[in-house]
Amino acid sequence: MFLYLFSFKEGMTMKTERLIMSGARENSESLLKEMSEALKLSADNPYLFVRTGLIAKLFFYKELYEIIVSVPGSIVEVGSWFGQTSVLFENIRAIIEPFNYSRKIVSFDTFDGYNETSGLNIGSQEILKYKVEDNWIDLLEKIQDAHKSINSSASIFHNIKGDIRDTIPKYLEENCEPIALVYYDIATYETLKFTFNTVLPYISKGGVFVFDDYGYQYQGVNQFIIEQGIHKKYQLIHSKYYKSKVYLVVT
Ligand SMILES: C[S@@+](CC[C@H](N)C(=O)[O-])C[C@H]1O[C@@H](n2cnc3c(N)ncnc32)[C@H](O)[C@@H]1O
């Protein structure tokens, strides 16, 4: 999700740090966080405190949306954490295609953190942070409904809890329809292999599959790409705005 520097020796669990995390940067990030909490400015001023990485991510979502704007199908995030991406895509949809009432925005997560970490050598603290509170889906639905109301939108959201190896096949069986975008953000080898092979038949021509985590740090993602020859079958493309985000267009 973020840019990380993984310093590790073989057999050790990697320690993750932000890639460009100098002491000065760390202090500045802390200062912005403290000021934003202390000042309690109105919600109209978030950009006083938002760092570049998050703005780059927003640009990346717009880049993706512009590719799929004429491609029919749902927007699916695999590994959604708090569901922030669903809200961003709904708002980008409201700007770019306000009269497209056919998009569904589907978020898959355990909403309980990682079940397995194959090829993702990260520490337990990092893993624990992805567990959200038990009633999070209720709160997320309230947030999504508020955005729909502001946008006078008819978007349909599905927030699906459970291990994706159970929930994705069940969802596809019950909702047999094309997919325009799969935003894959779990980074373990097993879930990537499973997700890619399960959803590929549903992705429309011109649709996109995103690897949120790409780089030498993500051994599981690299292993999957090489083993399955994904880099030979498709052109893998770096985001214009965020180089550790890579995607392919289904042709
Ligand atoms: C890096 S986070 C996703 C961040 C999110 N896409 C965002 O941008 O805020 C990875 C998520 O994958 C979820 N996850 C891990 N393994 C899973 C599995 N087998 N099935 C479903 N969700 C899983 C975790 O609970 C975690 O929330």
Residue 134 sits in which domain range? 53-249
On whether the CB atoms of residues 28 and 135 are closer than 8 A, the answer is no
Residues 161 and 211 placed together within one structural domain of the fold:
yes
Domain of 209, CATH number, reads: 3.40.50.150
Residues 58 and 43 placed together within one structural domain of the fold:
no
Nearest CA to ligand 1 atom 12: 79
- DSSP letter (8 states) at residue 200: G
Residues 127 and 212 placed together within one structural domain of the fold:
yes
End-to-end Cα distance, the chain: 27
Number of structural domains the chain divides into? 2
Residues 59 and 177 placed together within one structural domain of the fold:
yes
The dihedrals phi and psi of 108, each to the nearest 5 degrees, come to -110, 130
Query: Which residue has 């932000």 as its token pair?
Result: 18
Residues 138 and 222 placed together within one structural domain of the fold:
yes
Predicted confidence (pLDDT) per residue in 153-184, tens digit: 999 999 999 999 999 999 999 999 999 999 99
Nearest CA to ligand 1 atom 22: 109
Predicted confidence (pLDDT) per residue in 103-123, tens digit: 999 999 999 998 888 887 766
For 246, the enclosing helix (H) or strand (E) is strand 246-249
Average pLDDT over residues 61-72: 98
Closest ligand 1 atom to 77 CA: 6
Average pLDDT over residues 121-135: 82
Query: Domain for residue 10, yes or no?
Result: no
State which of 50, 67, 95 marks the end of a domain: 50
State yes or no: pLDDT of 225 exceeds 80: yes
Residues 59 and 125 placed together within one structural domain of the fold:
yes
What is the CB < 6 Å shell around ligand 1? Answer: 1, 77, 79-81, 84-85, 108-110, 113-115, 130, 163-164, 185-186, 191
> Across the chain, which distance is largest between two alpha carbons, in Å?
53
C-alpha 171/C-alpha 122 separation (Å) is 29
For 230, the enclosing helix (H) or strand (E) is helix 230-233
Query: Domain for residue 121, yes or no?
Result: yes
Whole-number average pLDDT of the chain: 90
More confident residue, 44 or 67: 67
Predicted confidence (pLDDT) per residue in 178-206, tens digit: 999 999 999 999 999 999 999 999 999 99
